[in-house]
Every structure is written in C-alpha cells, then in structure tokens.
Amino acid sequence: MNRREFLKTTGAITAMSLSGLNADTLDQPPKPALAFPRYRGFNLLAKFGARGPRRKFEEEDFEIMTEWGFDFARIPMSYWNWASRDDWYKIDEDVLKDIDEVVELGKKYKIHVNLNLHRIPGYCINGRNMEPMDLYEDTPERMQKSLDAAVFHWKMFARRYKGISSSQLSFDLINEPPYTRDETRHVEVVTALVKGIRQEDPDRLIIADGKDVGRTPVFGIADLGVVQSTRGYDPMSVSHYTARWVPASAFESSGEPTWPLQGDDGKVWDKAALKTKLIDTWMPLVQKGVPVHVGEWGCFNKTPHDVALRWMEDLLALWKEVGWGYSMWNLKGDFGILNSERADVKYEVYKGHKLDRKMLELVKKY
C-alpha cells in the first residue's frame, strides 16, 4: 500500500467510525451524497407544550398545506407529553399513538413529517431550568444520565418507525441547542443520538439543529451524514417585536421596527446583512456537501404588517437562491398565516379561519 492509498483508507475509517460504522464496511460501495429536497412548510404545535388537555394533530392542517402546495410538517414535541421530568423512562403509549397518527397523515397527504424534540431529557430552550439535570452544563455524571435518557427516547422512535421511508419521515434531534464556547459538547450529544438511532434504523434521515440556538453551523458533525437546520429570526427586533419571552438584550433596536432596520448601535440590517449572517456563515458547511434547511422562521404579530412582509420577502428570496427549504413558525397562531390576530390586516375567511392573504401569496411565491 502506498502513502496515498494509506491516507485514503485511514480517512475512510475515521469517517465511518464517526457515523457508527466500522472498517468491515470498507469493501461495500460508497453511499451517494446526502440529498435533501427543498421542503417547504410549517411547524405544527399539538405536542409542543405539555400543559392542559391532551392535544391531537388536526387533519385539516394537512389538507390546507396540500391545497396551498406545501410538503413539509415539522413537529416540535416536548417529551413531557409521553413521559415526565420525574421519570424519563416511563412512557405513556396512548400519547405515542397521537404521533403515529401525524406520521400517517403525512403519508396520506404526501407531506414529509419531521419529528423534533423541542424538549429532550435534560434540555429545552424554553424553561431550561425546569429539567432535573442539564444535558449541556452539569456534572459529567448528570450530563451522561441526561444523554442516556435522550438516546433512549430517540431509539424508541427509531424502532417504532423503522421501515417508513425517509422520504416520508425524518428526525430532528434537539431544538435550538444552547450558546456554548465551542461545539465540543454538542458534537458529543449529536454523535451519541445519531449512533443510537442508527443502531435501530440505519437508514433514517436525521436533522441536527445548529448550535447557538440554531444559528451556528456545526462542522464537527459534517461527516455524520445528517442535514443541518438553521433559523430565520434575525434581526430579532423585526421578528419578535414586543415578544415578552425574549430578553431585552436580544433586540437590536428599542423602537418600532422598520425594514431595512437601523439598530441602536448604528448597524444597518437589510437584505445584504441577512445574506452575510444567515447565508454566508453556512456556505462552508454546504461546500462540504451538508444540506441545510431552515427549521423555523416567522414574524410575531406585533410587527407592522408591511414591515413583516418586506423582511420576509428578502429572507425567502435569499433561501430560494441557495436552494434551502423552510418551515414557518407557525401555520395557525401569532406567527402564522391563519389566525395571527394582527391589528393591521384585513383577513379573509378561509375554512372558518382568518387568512392573511398577502402573507400566503408571498410565501407561496418562494
């Protein structure tokens, strides 16, 4: 074996070990590059929270998305729906049947279903301190206990849905991982979850959110064969104007938003600024062959409607240029096309809902 052959072989072994494979597979033909269609759709929130009455997914949402020409439903879920913070391993099978139903709805309407753990054992971007242990910042023993439970939940779903094509179903591991000094811990977490899933279902399509609340690409998992998910919420002064759950320090401007926007620090936010932050940051990852999808984006209903639409159009045009799909937060509700309760919109009545026609036609264009 010459030096070139040695380096090629050892490089292949390294990549395979990261993905849970081993040197025994070296004589098998290589898998084709990971492909991910330009899926476009919405987040559906029936399992997003875990308080109040049990909510089930609505077939009407799939009917509407199909009628409008969309093909992607991201399903952010809290594990509290089928387990609890007090016992990560005691599973309520009846609740899992609700998730079976949304998977079947996706198959029925030819809409790709993407199951996401918005709250996973040990972590959630909302109410992180409500977890008994922290998946990212705790003692090594407690972090490992959280990770073991997180792997348990994803292996459960992998077994449950093995045999369903990845063209119909994918897994999005953890919603919006935290800001961290480097990507080391997130790489450890994602690698363990991917390995657990592939032990049960080697062919499952997997998505991993970028670190820093989905805003930063993760190069340490580029060889795992997973899609990476980004966000479309910048600048926060436009997308989340007056949102009380956002800390004041996250807003670029203290005034009513405009588009383009000039921040209090003098920085101008326009289409070019969006490209620099939301597109160019991710292109080195794309050049490594990693597909990118926008898992969440949208605009809170307190932003003036004309400002929201101009900002949205710039985002949508940029994503279309680079071939990225997206899932809007949400279909029905404060960020949505239906029932957003904006004070400055003349709504149409559509299937008993309030339809923001201008926003719908804009999103359908891209």
Q: What is the CATH number of the domain that holds 167?
A: 3.20.20.80
In a domain, 12, yes or no: no
Alpha helices in the chain (DSSP H): 3-18, 59-68, 93-109, 140-160, 184-200, 211-214, 236-239, 271-274, 283-286, 305-322, 357-365
In a domain, 29, yes or no: no
In a domain, 164, yes or no: yes
In a domain, 292, yes or no: yes
Count: domains in the chain: 1
In a domain, 342, yes or no: no
Q: Measure Cα distances from 17 to 195, 208, 223 in Å.
A: 10, 18, 10
CB burial readout 136-174, b (16+ within 10 A) else e = bebeeeebbbbbebbbebbbbbbeebeebeeebbbbbbb
Distance of alpha carbon 77 from the chain centroid: 11
Q: Measure Cα distances from 243 to 45, 59, 296, 317 in Å.
A: 18, 30, 16, 26
Q: Which tens digits make up the pLDDT trace of 134-161?
A: 999 999 999 999 999 999 999 999 999 9
For the question of whether the overall pTM of this predicted structure is more than 0.95, the answer is: no
In a domain, 14, yes or no: no
pLDDT the model gives residue 146: 98
In a domain, 108, yes or no: yes
Q: Which tens digits make up the pLDDT trace of 75-100?
A: 999 999 999 999 999 999 999 999 99
Parent domain of 237: 36-331
pLDDT the model gives residue 53: 84
In a domain, 20, yes or no: no
Output the tens digit of pLDDT for each of the chain's 366 residues: 433 333 333 333 333 333 344 433 334 444 567 989 999 999 999 999 887 788 999 999 999 999 999 999 999 999 999 999 999 999 999 999 999 999 999 999 999 999 999 999 999 999 999 999 999 999 999 999 999 999 999 999 999 999 999 999 999 999 999 999 999 999 999 999 999 999 999 999 999 999 999 999 999 999 999 999 999 999 999 999 999 999 999 999 999 999 999 999 999 999 999 999 999 999 999 999 999 999 999 999 999 999 999 999 999 999 999 999 999 999 999 999 999 999 999 999 999 999 999 999 999 999
Q: Are 81 and 50 in contact (CB under 8 A)?
A: yes
